[in-house]
Amino acid sequence: MQNFRIFKQVPRLLFGEGSLSRINELLPIKNQKSDYYIYVIDDVLKNSTILSNIVIDEYDLIEWFPATKKEPSTIQVDELKNSILERKNNIMPLAIIGIGGGSTMDIAKAVSVMLCNEGSSRNYQGWDLVPNPGIYKIGVPTISGSGAEASRTAVLMGADRKFGINSDHSMFNAIIMDSTLIKSVPVDQRFYSGMDCYIHCVESLEGTMINELARGYADKALVLCDKVFLENGDDDMLMTASYMGGVSIVNSEVGICHALSYGLSIELDYRHGFANCVAFDVLDEYYGNHVVKFREMLKLHNIVIPKNVCKGMSEDSINRMIDMTLKMERPLTNALGKDWKNILTRNKIRELYLKM
Amino acid sequence: MQNFRIFKQVPRLLFGEGSLSRINELLPIKNQKSDYYIYVIDDVLKNSTILSNIVIDEYDLIEWFPATKKEPSTIQVDELKNSILERKNNIMPLAIIGIGGGSTMDIAKAVSVMLCNEGSSRNYQGWDLVPNPGIYKIGVPTISGSGAEASRTAVLMGADRKFGINSDHSMFNAIIMDSTLIKSVPVDQRFYSGMDCYIHCVESLEGTMINELARGYADKALVLCDKVFLENGDDDMLMTASYMGGVSIVNSEVGICHALSYGLSIELDYRHGFANCVAFDVLDEYYGNHVVKFREMLKLHNIVIPKNVCKGMSEDSINRMIDMTLKMERPLTNALGKDWKNILTRNKIRELYLKM
């Protein structure tokens, strides 16, 4: 008997076009004048009509998060926490709403947790290190694929590593899946983020840490990814795929691609979905036909993955990427078994990076 | 825009062979001497080893529920509630654990709700009529297919109708999916209950009240049913199918087969899964190829559905069945649209019953 973790799910979901306007059905009710919500919103939405769907009052806070600049960091989380507490005289919000892609939702999750736990967010990067429940939180994806809406993980860049806060307390209490919100995402962004989902499913299905329930989610999400990226599947399908792929990952584990992509993000400042695509493109040896199908998708959507991305990189940089990859013990155990260190040696990792 | 209900999910699941022995990871901790749990267990398990998986102390209550005798009723729920409060001097349990099939789990759900709400359970049959949250509850299926582990519904026989308590408060807080528990289910029971899942998926997919997320669950569950009942799918797959079919139904609706089967249960005391099979077998007109596939499954598992079951039935009985069917407005709207009353007339319903 393999002892699987308790399978966690977001208990309440609103699904469907226009459902963001029903957010009040999910929000805790304000009773006092000082009660407020915090909206953390991807700043690419600053000129969109997003706020017309929500009733915001003068006490609420809106944080426009610069998600496209770089991967979210522990420093940003700590600063945001302090700034909120300062502006609100240590009064806690009733709810935090994260509206954006994986990065923005991860920031919302991390701030929710950090408002109720001492010290810096970097102390909680790892598995199940968060003692206190966070603030009630709602996730609203405006780009699909990361699965952050479904996951326990808030991935943050630290000083020398990219690592998730993985805790039951970092899961959303509710999510809203409104496909009108992802309609204006640029084609390449939509693709890279969608491939995050595709790769989650592949890593989950090809790994050892999976059970039939998580397989159910990953299988279905993969079928939906095929429909969306190889046929004429619609945005509701893409949102469903992202969610189900996320559920599968919460309850299984990622694999080699994610382990390598973290190195790329650390050294080259690549965004997560893009880094995943760059890495996945050299993983025929591990994910065979799935990589072939990925290349069909690239072709169909006219996306070109850059090559020789590590050319001219210093030996120090490459070693830092290798170090980062080797820190991903759980994903690599999932992909290659307990003996992974003998299979994915430093030399092998270097070889893979140089192939990219 | 169709306004879908908030999609509800059980937040915590334990999955895998032997997972019942980890039930303590899900139970609220006892702090006082008077703290206790109630186990409601299907009495067919009385001579099984089920209790060897659980640590039960002297303050806990065990209720062996006669689930095979007949469909669970509002009278049984009310009696059980009163008997618990009497024996425990009105001290509430910390948790209720329902171990069994759909009927037993439904009783556990209903008692959980009724301990915290006034009056008789028959007052709460319907949609969203329960004001107060219930006692913390855990569902443990020992036969798969009903989806009761995933659903908001506790279906109960009342004086003149079979009807569900449908409330967010009647959902389990956690479920345990341990496939070792369904290994000893007799072949015919396994089949009838499994078909409950198959029929849920068909009704959900062929209905109008569905969105892409619920479709994701129903599609996957249907594929798993095919694997289990037409190929060599295993018990983990059957448990996953049952759960996913249940999730789909929570977030969409059943259809004509369930509406007709309720009449059979009322008049002929048929158990739910069996009644569904009897009804589904005459629904080619509505569920076409799914009925053809159902007959393949019957054949492969050597199950013979009785015919002429309404032969010799009094006119009164038939009228009561028709009345019961016509009460199922939501399922029939789901199946046939708003105009369903003009399509499924009394005569048409009579004709279908006489075909069974």
**In 3-state terms, what secondary structure has residue B41?**
strand
Quick one: pLDDT at residue A2?
A: 57
Q: Does B16 touch chain A (CB under 8 A)?
A: yes
Closest approach of B117 to chain A, Cα-based (Å): 23
Q: Does A243 touch chain B (CB under 8 A)?
A: yes
Closest approach of B215 to chain A, Cα-based (Å): 9
Quick one: pLDDT at residue A166?
A: 92
Closest approach of A329 to chain B, Cα-based (Å): 24
Question: With a CB-CB cutoff of 8 Å, which residues 246-305 of chain A face chain B?
Answer: 251
pLDDT mean over B40-49: 94
Closest approach of B24 to chain A, Cα-based (Å): 12
E-strand stretches of B230-330? none
> Which positions ≥6 away from A221 have C-beta within 8 Å?
A197, A200, A201, A240, A241, A242, A243, A244, A245, A248, B216
Residue with token string 């792929």: A245
Give the number of beta-carbon pairs within 8 Å between A and B.
109
Cβ pair A213:B13 closer than 8 A: yes
pTM of the model: 0.93
Q: Does B243 touch chain A (CB under 8 A)?
A: yes
Per residue, what are the HEC states of B159-182? CCCEEEEECHHHCCCEEEECHHHH
> Nearest by CB to A12, which of B4, B8, B234?
B8
Closest approach of B8 to chain A, Cα-based (Å): 5
Question: In this structure, are residues A332 and A207 in contact, taking their beta carbons and an 8 Å threshold?
Answer: no
| Residues B309-335: tens digit of each pLDDT | 999 999 999 999 999 999 999 999 999
In the predicted model, residues of chain A with pLDDT beneath 50 are 1
Q: Does A26 touch chain B (CB under 8 A)?
A: yes
Q: What are the two backbone dihedrals, phi and then psi, of residue A64, each rounded to the nearest 5 degrees?
A: -85, 115
With contacts defined as CB-CB under 8 Å, which chain A residues touch B236? 211-213
Q: What are the two backbone dihedrals, phi and then psi, of residue A11, each rounded to the nearest 5 degrees?
A: -75, -25
ipTM of the complex: 0.90
| First-to-last C-alpha distance (Å) of chain B | 39
Quick one: pLDDT at residue A1?
A: 44
Cβ pair A6:B17 closer than 8 A: no
Residue B159 has pLDDT above 90, yes or no: no
With contacts defined as CB-CB under 8 Å, which chain A residues touch B182? none
Cβ pair B1:A7 closer than 8 A: no
Cβ pair A18:B1 closer than 8 A: yes
Q: Does A205 touch chain B (CB under 8 A)?
A: no
Cβ pair B2:A16 closer than 8 A: yes
Return the closest-CA partner of residue A93 out of A157, A150, A173, A37. A37
Nearest CA in chain B to A247: B11
> Nearest by CB to A177, which of B16, B213, B239?
B213
With contacts defined as CB-CB under 8 Å, which chain A residues touch B211? 15-16, 236
Cβ pair B8:A11 closer than 8 A: yes
Question: In this structure, are residues A228 and A241 in contact, taking their beta carbons and an 8 Å threshold?
Answer: yes
With contacts defined as CB-CB under 8 Å, which chain A residues touch B213? 13, 15, 177, 236, 239-240, 243
Q: Does A224 touch chain B (CB under 8 A)?
A: yes
Cβ pair B18:A1 closer than 8 A: yes
Cβ pair B4:A11 closer than 8 A: no
**Mean pLDDT of all residues belonging to chain A:** 95
Helix axes B187-205, B256-268, angle to 10 degrees: 140
With contacts defined as CB-CB under 8 Å, which chain B residues touch A211? 15-16, 236
With contacts defined as CB-CB under 8 Å, which chain A residues touch B8? 11-13
Residue of A9, A15, A172 to mutate when probing chain B, most B C-beta within 10 A? A15
Residue of B5, B7, B10, B20 to mutate when probing chain A, most A C-beta within 10 A? B7
With contacts defined as CB-CB under 8 Å, which chain A residues touch B16? 1-4, 211
**What whole-number distance in Å separates Cα of residue A351 and Cα of residue B1?**
52
With the C-alpha atoms ordered A8, A168, A69, A283, is the resulting torsion angle positive or negative? Answer: negative
Return the closest-CA partner of residue A320 out of A121, A122, A159. A159
Question: Residue B324: enclosing H or E segment and its boundaries?
Answer: helix B315-326
Question: In this structure, are residues A167 and A113 in contact, taking their beta carbons and an 8 Å threshold?
Answer: yes
Closest approach of B161 to chain A, Cα-based (Å): 31
Helices (H), B54-165: 74-87, 102-114
C-beta contacts of A230-236 below 8 A and 24+ residues apart: A230/A293, A230/A296, A230/A297, A230/A300, A234/A179, A234/B212, A235/A144, A235/A179, A235/A182, A235/A183, A236/A15, A236/A16, A236/A17, A236/A179, A236/B211, A236/B212, A236/B213
Question: With a CB-CB cutoff of 8 Å, which residues 146-175 of chain A face chain B?
Answer: 174
Cβ pair A240:B19 closer than 8 A: no
- The CA distances from residue B258 to B4, B155, B229, in Å, are 21, 12, 21
pLDDT mean over B88-103: 96
Per residue, what are the HEC states of chain A? CCCCCCEECCCEEEECCCHHHHHHHCCCCCCCCCCCEEEEEEHHHCCCCHHHHCCCCCCCEEEEECCCCCCCEHHHHHHHHHHHHHHCCCCCCCEEEEEECHHHHHHHHHHHHHCCCCCCHHHHCEECCCCCCCCCEEEEECCCCCCCCCCCEEEEECCCCEEEEECHHHCCCEEEECHHHHCCCCHHHHHHHHHHHHHHHHHHHCCCCCCHHHHHHHHHHHHHHHHHHHCCCCHHHHHHHHHHHHHHHHCCCCCHHHHHHHHHHHHHCCCHHHHHHHHHCCCHHHHHHHHHHHHHHHHHCCCCCCCCCCCCCCHHHHHHHHHHHHCCHHHHHHHHCCCHHHHCCHHHHHHHHHHC
With contacts defined as CB-CB under 8 Å, which chain A residues touch B1? 16-18
Q: Does A43 touch chain B (CB under 8 A)?
A: no
Closest approach of B2 to chain A, Cα-based (Å): 8
With contacts defined as CB-CB under 8 Å, which chain A residues touch B10? 9, 11
